[in-house]
């Protein structure tokens, strides 16, 4: 029997049992992709990560190799797994203790997370995501039909658009938090729409207060408490279209409706031609550890 140790953490929160859950397997070098997928399905979390150790010289050059799985598929990039796994590496791998910067090699490439100095308490990290790629602008009427709302629920002066910082999301601006709180995406119609477009998922946002946005992401017949990759796409969209200032720290609140509030910081720079230095930040707290057994 192989014993596989893992840690369970909550990401984008400083309180246990809030934010987005993540299981991190400490040493997955001997696992096949099929075994990783089976373990991710067994944890039944939005994402599970697998740390694949390599010689120190290679990790120094390229970063710590990490693979990310949902219950259904492997992802090239995802935000809260990147932040949570980096926090795990910093806190539990002795050779990375107290490192200011942790670099992961994901399927999308190298992603770095910078940690704030902290004597105690949940670790605060800020990841730098790949520069955004702006894709298709979507018809609001078609979007409304696809996600089961009315055109009046959407913002009048903000058109939905696909943005990717490693994972393509259709950013869908709502007119209000009240309208967003009523969202119930039907997976069948949403998936039918997305199959013919350039986005993988919908990420729906609404203005809450000055500098504060509410967000929701419903997929696989469920809802995600925090979506760090989509937050990077959202801030890129807001900065590119003038709804947030260049390098302004924006606060994104997600998971409120499902009882797992998440607090996400996001900022990006816009020079009038391109958006760059997309950064998403938040805290990670570890809540459990355990073992799986494989024959």
Per-residue pLDDT of the chain (295 residues; tens, 9 = 90+): 899 999 999 999 999 999 999 999 998 999 999 999 999 999 999 999 999 999 999 999 999 999 999 999 999 999 999 999 999 999 999 999 989 999 999 999 999 999 988 667 799 999 999 999 999 999 999 999 999 999 999 999 999 999 999 999 999 999 999 999 999 998 899 999 999 999 999 999 999 999 999 999 998 878 999 999 999 999 999 999 999 999 999 999 999 999 999 999 999 999 999 999 999 999 999 999 999 999 8
Residue 209 lies in a domain: yes
In this structure, the answer to whether residues 111 and 157 fall within a common structural domain is: no
Q: Are residues 123 and 86 in the same domain?
A: yes
Domain shared by 125 and 138, yes or no: no
What CATH number did the domain enclosing 98 receive? 3.10.310.10
pLDDT of the residue at 186: 87
Q: How far apart (Å, rounded) are the C-alpha atoms in residues 184 and 149?
A: 8
Burial of residue 141 (CB within 10 Å: 0-12, 13-18, 19+) is exposed
Angle between the N-to-C axes of helices 140-147 and 187-195, in degrees from 0 to 180, rounded to the nearest 10 = 140
In a domain, residue 17? The reply is yes
How many folded domains does the chain comprise?
2
Between β-strands 74-75 and 64-69, what pairing exists: parallel, antiparallel or unpaired? antiparallel
Domain co-membership, 76 together with 204: no
Considering the domain architecture, whether residues 217 and 287 belong to the same structural domain is answered as: no
Q: Are residues 139 and 268 in the same domain?
A: yes
Helix (H), strand (E), coil (C) string for the chain: CEEEEEEEEEECCCCCCCCEEEEEECCCCCCCHHHHHHHHHHHCCCCEEEEECCCHHHHHHHCEEEEEECCCCEECCCHHHHHHHHHHHHHHCHHHCCCCEEEEEECCEEEEEEECCCCCCCEEEEEEECCCEEEEECCHHHHHHHHCCCHHHECCCCCCEEEECCCEEEEEEECCHHHHHCCCCCHHHHHHHHHCCCCCEEEEEEEEECCEEEEEEEECCEEECCCHHHHHHHHHHHHHCCCCCCCCCEEEEECCCCCCCEEEEEEEEECCCCEEEEEEEEEEEEEEEEEEEEC
**Are 154 and 111 in a shared domain?**
no
> Does 25 fall in a domain?
yes
Do 215 and 240 lie in a common domain? Answer: yes
Non-local (6+) Cβ contacts of 80 within 8 A are 11, 12, 19, 20, 22, 46, 47, 226, 227, 228, 282
Residue 202 forms part of a structural domain: yes
Give pLDDT, residue 148: 96
Residue 258: closest CA among 84, 69, 21:
21
Shared-domain flag, residues 214 and 231: yes
- Domain annotation covers residue 278: no
Residues 202 and 108 placed together within one structural domain of the fold: no
pLDDT for the residue numbered 119:
60
| Domain region containing 229 | 133-273
* Pair 103, 71 in one domain: yes
Same-domain check for residues 33 and 154: no
pTM (2 d.p.): 0.94
Q: Is residue 81 part of a domain?
A: yes
């Amino acid at each position: 029997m192989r014993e596989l140790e893992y840690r369970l953490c909550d990401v984008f929160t400083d309180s246990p049992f809030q934010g987005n859950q993540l299981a991190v397997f400490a040493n997955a070098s001997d696992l096949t992709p099929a075994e990783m997928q089976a373990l991710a399905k067994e944890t039944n979390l939005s994402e599970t990560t697998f740390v694949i150790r390599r010689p120190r010289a290679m990790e120094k050059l390229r970063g710590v190799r990490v693979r990310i799985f949902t219950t259904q598929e492997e992802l090239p990039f995802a935000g809260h797994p990147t932040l949570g796994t980096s926090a795990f590496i910093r806190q539990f791998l002795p050779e990375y203790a107290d490192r200011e910067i942790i670099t992961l090699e994901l399927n999308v490439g190298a992603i770095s997370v910078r940690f704030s100095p902290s004597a105690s308490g949940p670790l605060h990290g800020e990841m730098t995501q790949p520069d955004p790629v702006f894709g298709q602008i979507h018809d609001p009427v078609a979007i409304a039909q696809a996600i089961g709302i009315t055109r009046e629920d959407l913002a009048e002066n903000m058109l939905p658009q696909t943005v990717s910082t490693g994972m393509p999301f259709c950013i869908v601006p709502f007119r209000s938090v009240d309208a967003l709180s009523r969202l119930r995406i039907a997976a069948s119609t949403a998936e039918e729409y997305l199959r013919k477009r350039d986005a993988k998922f919908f990420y729906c946002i609404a203005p809450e207060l000055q500098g504060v946005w509410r967000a929701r992401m419903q997929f696989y017949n469920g809802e995600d408490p925090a979506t760090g990759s989509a937050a990077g796409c959202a801030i890129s969209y807001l900065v590119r279209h003038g709804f947030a200032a260049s390098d302004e720290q924006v606060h994104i609140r997600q998971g409120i409706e499902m009882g797992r509030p998440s607090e996400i910081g996001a900022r990006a720079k816009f020079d009038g031609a391109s958006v760059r230095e997309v950064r998403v930040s938040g805290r990670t707290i570890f809540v459990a550890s355990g073992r799986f057994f494989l024959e």
